[in-house]
Amino acid sequence: MKHLNEEQLVLYYYGEEAEGRRSTGELSQGVEQHLGACEECRAAYHTLQRVLNSVDSFPVPERAEDYETRVWKSIEGHIGKKRTFSRWFSWRPLALAVAMAAMLVVAFYAGRTVRKPGAGVETADAGQVRERVLLVAVGDHLERSQMVLVELANASTARNGGKLDISYETRTAEDLLEANRLYRQTASSAGDVGTAALLEDLERVLIEIAHSPAAVSTKQLEELRAQIEDRGILFKVKVFGSQLEQRESAPVKGQTTL
Amino acid sequence: MEDSDSVAVARVKSGDGEAYRGLVDRHSRSVFRLAFRMTGNESDAEDVVQETFMRAYKQLHRWEARSSFSTWLYRIAANYSLDLVRRRKRHAEVGLEESRGNGEDATDVIRALPSTAPGPERLMISGHVQEKVAATLKELSQQERTAFVLRHFEGQSIEEISGALGLSSNAAKHSIFRAVQKLRRALEPLVGEAS
C-alpha cells in the first residue's frame, strides 16, 4: 500500500486539493479511505493534527472595549478628505528619498572631513554607513514599487465593465518615479552598476504606469502588463530584494558596492 | 456580513464617509489579530490596522463586490505587515531607529521569548507550548509566516494566498509546507507528550 505523504496530509487537514483549490470532496474521500485502512498514516495524521491544533494556542493580546472607536478616531480625519489624504500619501516616498540622499551626503562628508586618510578603519566605517543607508532606502523603495507592480499584474477589468480605475497606481508610480531617479543617480555615483541598471529598468516601467490614464481598458491593461512582463521587472525586483536582504545581513567588512 | 459589507462599501463610494465606520467596527479586531500574528508585536499590529483601513479606503474602487471584503482587507493587511516587518528588520540592522521593545512593550510575546529551548519539566506546562509556538513562528521566513498565518488562522485558500503575495500557487503551497514542517519539528515532542 502506498502511504500518504506529508503534503497530502497537510492539504487534507486544510481541506485543499493538491493543485491548490479547495477540496471538492473527491480527494478528501480518497484520503479518508486510506486513513481508515492504514494505521501508520492515521497515526501520522493525528500527530499533524495535534501539532497544528496546538498552534491555535498562540496568544493574541485582547483589545480594549472601545478599540473600534479608537481605530476610527485615528483615521476619520482622512476619510472623505481625499485631496488631503492623497497629499499625505504622496509626499512620503519622495521625502524619504530626499532624506536618505541627505543622509548619504552627510555620511559621505563625515567620512571625508572628520576621518582623514590614515585612519583606515574609521574611513571604512563611513563607507559602510553610506552603503547601509542606501541599502535600506533602496530596499524600501523596491518593496513599494513591487506592491504597485503586483497590483497591476493581478488586476482585471473583467468585472468592471471592461474598465479599471488605476488612478491610485498611477499616482503612486509618479511618486516612486521621483524617488527612483534619486536612488539611481546615487547608485551610479557610488559606482554600483547593478543597482543603477535595475533602477533604470524600473524607471521605464514606472514611467509607463505614471503616464497611463486613470481608467484603463482591457487592451491598455494588457499592454501595461506586457511591459511589466517583457522586462521581467517584477521578477528582477523580487530577486534583487532578496539579494539586498542577504547583503544587509552579511558582515559589513569587505563590501565595496552598494 | 458580506452583504452588509457590500452595502457599506456602496455607501462609502457614493460619498458617505461615515459608512466606512461600520467596516472599521466590523473588521478592526480581526485585522489586529492577523497583524499581530504576522508581526509578533502589539504596537506594530496597531500601526498595521490603522494603515490597512486607510489604504483600503483609498483603494476602495478596486474591491470587487463578488469577492469577500474581509479577504481583500486581509490581503492589504498581510502585505503591509510583510512590508513593515522587513523594514523594521532592515532599519534595526543599520541602527536607523531606536531599538523597540526594551521592556516597554510587555505584551511583545515573540520578542520576549527566550532563545534557548526550555527544559523538559517546563515543557509540561501548557503555557510553554504557546511560547514554543510563538518562538517557532518567529523563526519562519516572512513568506512562510505570512502564507501560514493566512492559511491556518485566516482560512484563506492557497489560490487566495498566492494572489495576495504575488506568488505562484506552488510557491505559496510550499511556503505553507515548509512552515508546517518547522512547526512539526518544534512542537511534535511537546504535543506528543501532552497527548
Q: pLDDT tens across A207-257, in order?
A: 888 888 888 888 888 888 888 888 788 888 878 877 776 766 665 544 444
B86: phi then psi, degrees, rounded to nearest 5 = -65, -45
Q: A157 - beta bridge partners?
A: none
User: What is the interface pTM, i.e. ipTM, of the complex?
Assistant: 0.74
The answer to whether residues B99 and B91 touch, using CB atoms and an 8 Å cutoff, is no
Among the partner residues B42, B177, B188, nearest to A51 by beta-carbon distance: B188
Which of A16, A54, A133 has its CB closest to that of B94? A133
Rg (CA), chain B: 18
C-alpha closest to that of A148 among A209, A214, A218: A209
Residue-by-residue pLDDT tens, chain A, 258 positions: 688 888 889 998 998 865 444 445 566 677 888 888 889 999 999 999 889 988 887 888 999 999 999 999 999 887 764 433 333 344 455 566 666 666 665 555 555 544 444 444 444 455 666 666 777 778 878 888 888 888 887 777 665 567 787 888 888 888 888 888 888 888 887 778 888 888 888 988 888 888 888 888 888 888 888 888 887 888 888 788 777 767 666 655 444 444
In angstroms and rounded to an integer, the radius of gyration of the C-alpha atoms of chain A is 25
Give tens-digit pLDDT for B77-127.
Answer: 988 888 888 777 766 665 544 444 443 333 333 333 333 344 444 444 466
Mean pLDDT taken over chain B:
78
Is the Cβ pair A52, B180 closer than 8 Å? yes
Tell me if A57 and B130 make a contact (CB, 8 A cut-off): yes
pTM across the whole model: 0.57
Q: Do A85 and B188 touch (CB under 8 A)?
A: no
Cα separation, A202 vs A208, in Å, equals 10
Quote the pLDDT of residue B22: 92
Would you state the pLDDT for residue A99? 65
Do A131 and A100 touch, CB atoms closer than 8 A?
Answer: no
Residue of A nearest to B78 (CA): A147
d(CA A48, CA A189): 54
pLDDT of residue B30: 93
With beta carbons under 8 A apart, name residues in chain A contacting B86: 139, 143, 245
Distance CA A72, CA B50 (A): 8
User: How many Å apart are CA B53 and CA B35, to the nearest integer?
Assistant: 12
Q: Residue A215 pairs with which residues in a beta bridge? A: A165
The grid coordinates of residue B176 equal 505553507
Beta bridge partners of A16: A22
User: Which of A60, A131, A151, A167 to probe by mutation at the B interface, max B CB count within 10 Å?
Assistant: A60
pLDDT at A95: 63
Nearest to B28 among A22, A71, A245 (CB): A71
Mind telling me how many Å the CA of A147 is from chain B's nearest CA? 8
**Which residues 92-111 of chain A have a CB within 8 Å of chain B?**
none
A66–chain B Cβ distance below 8 A for any pair: no
CA pair distance B127, B137, nearest whole angstrom? 16
Q: Which of residues 33-52 of B touch A (CB under 8 A)?
A: 33, 36-37, 42, 49-50
- Tell me the pLDDT tens digit for each residue of B119-157: 444 444 466 778 888 889 988 988 899 999 999 988 888
Distance CA A235, CA A237 (A): 5
Q: How far apart are the first and last CA of chain B?
A: 38
In which residue are the cell numbers 494572489 written?
A: B163
State the Cα angle at A174 between A134 and A182, rounded to 5°.
25
